[in-house]
Every structure is written in structure tokens, then in C-alpha cells.
Structure 1
Amino acid sequence: MDLRKLKTLIDLVSDSNIAELEITEADGKVRIVKSGGAVMAGQAPMMMAPQAAAPVMAPVAATTVAAPVVEAAPATPAGYIVKSPMVGTFYVSSTPGGKPLAEVGTVVKEGDAVCIIEAMKIMNEIETDKAGTITQVLAQNGQAVEFGQPLFVIE
């Protein structure tokens, strides 16, 4: 089931008097229960990961002066960035050990699948909304990705 269809179902449940909706298709089963918010069966509500705490500075002796450490901001890749539309696990191919859907040098058209993101045991094909050539793959196969995380650079 693709992400758009799942979002439509969630909106349907939240905007109606339906308390529970269960759909079974060939590619999986989805159950949406309204209890103040949409929750998938057998799953706890998703929560945002806490932000990392600021590093604790050790006291500096009076005779030394600590210069502030300035980290260089990571360079933003040039070109169009395909970002993750969801939290999940990033896969470069639709089958383990299969041919990657997109890699550096692959020419893609608008709507082409470039990767798979597994979320809640559902495999979601992620499509590009820009035509061009893949110049960078920013995620590794099997890596957990966050919503909005850059995955590919297209020029």
C-alpha cells in the first residue's frame, strides 16, 4: 500500500465517526484505530526522538583560555535533493541483493522509483518528483532514515 493511500485512509478515519478501520490487501494489512490519534495495531504511537543534549564542558583551569570550537556546517549538496517522506529503513533495491533502483549516474524521470523505505513492515517505493541524473546517494542500504532526511541528489 503506498503512502498516499495510507494517508487518505488515516484522514478518512480522523474526519469521520469511524472508530476503527482494517484493510487487507495482497501486499499487506493495515488497521487504523482512532483513540485521540491514529495508531496502527500492535504498535505504540510514534514519538519524535529526543534531541541530543548539548555537550557538557569540563571546567577550564584559570590559567588557560578555552577558545570556542566552531564546527564547519556540512556543505549542502548542489542540485535537487530527494528527501525521505517518512521514518523507516532505507533500501536501495526491492529485493535483498537485487539490482539497485537508483545509483550514482542513473538517469531518472519524474515518477521513477529510486529506493524503498520500510515502515511498519510495509515496503514503500519512493519516487522522484524531478528528472535528472543521480549524483549522490546520501543514505546507506539498511540505514534507518528520518522524515525529511536527504536521500539522493539529482542534477
Structure 2
Amino acid sequence: MDIKEIKELIKYIEKSEIKEFQYENEEESIYISKMDDAPQMMAQPQYAAPVQQAPAPAAAPAVEAPAAPAIKGNEVVSPIVGTFYESPAPGSSPFVKEGDTVSKGQTLCIVEAMKIMNEIEAEYDCKIVKKVGQNGVPVEYGETIFIVEPL
């Protein structure tokens, strides 16, 4: 990647809602971050960190249906920017469905980033209250992908 392409990439990221970007191949590695100096809760690379129910960021999908009470539970957020997949392969059953009870370490979904399939696992035993992520749709770092209820 030449300097002109890097400058164009930086301009694009500055104008977008993307907070972090990382690209790596055999010859080069690029990391760009727009994270501010405010303390951030960082998730482990392979796990989504549960967070107590808090106001959703502006870019996050709504977690309540119209004219229905708010959904209570803990948020499972994407630890990376990538594409959300609910199943291991197209046409196969999803890893979890709403109402399922899962064990700590059980795979909830996959977030693909740069052709690497990152399994997102449950941090603790819980019940899936709501699947917020949509199959095949990009997710941002820190975006809510599930609402869960600890067991």
C-alpha cells in the first residue's frame, strides 16, 4: 500500500463512524485508531465482554420493540470490527437462538475480520434474551450483538 492509499484510508476513516481499523498481510501491517483518551473497557480478542445495561450508543441498533417494555439484561458486545455471523456456515443452524441457555465458553457467534473467523464465546453461564446482531451485517467495535441474562 503506498502513501497515497494510506492517506485516502485515513480520510475515509476520519469521516466514518469506525473507531479502529487494522489491516495485515504478509508484507505490511496498518493500525488506525480514533479512540479518545477517555477510559475504555477493553475486551479480550476472542471474547465479548458483558456490560451492564447502559444507554445504547447512537450507532447501535435499538434493543426494544415499539410499545414494549425495555429488555433487561447484560450486553454482549463485539470485541472487533467485522461481519456478524450467527452460524458456522451458510444454511446451517445458528450457534444460539433467543431463549437458549448457554454455558461459559460456548460459542455465541462468529465475527469475521480480514478473512479471520473469530468465535465469540459466552463469558459466563447465561440465557440468550435477545439476538441484536444480524446475520451477514457488519458490526462495530463495542456494538451490542446479544442481550443475555446471567444464570
- 1:120 paired with 2:114, answer yes
Partners of 1:125 and 1:139 in 2: how far apart?
Answer: 14
Query: Which amino acid is 1:84 matched to?
Result: S
Aligned length: 95
Query: Which amino acid is 1:110 matched to?
Result: K
For normalisation by structure 2, the TM-score amounts to 0.56
- Between structure 1 and structure 2, the one with the greater Rg is 1
Q: Cα RMSD (Å) of the superposition?
A: 2.5
Unmatched segments (≥5 aa) in structure 2: 1-21, 35-57, 65-69
Shift of 1:80: 1.5
Partners of 2:28 and 2:76 in 1: how far apart?
Answer: 28
Unmatched segments (≥5 aa) in structure 1: 1-37, 50-72
What residue is the counterpart of 2:73 in the other structure? 79
For normalisation by structure 1, the TM-score amounts to 0.54
Partners of 1:94 and 1:134 in 2: how far apart?
Answer: 18
Shift of 1:128: 1.1
Deviations 1:86-133 (A, max 9, x none): 010000000111110011011101111000010010111100102121
Higher relative contact order (CA 8 A, sep 6+): 2
What residue is the counterpart of 1:111 in the other structure? 105
The 1:43–1:106 alpha-carbon spacing in structure 2 relative to 1, beyond 3 Å, is farther
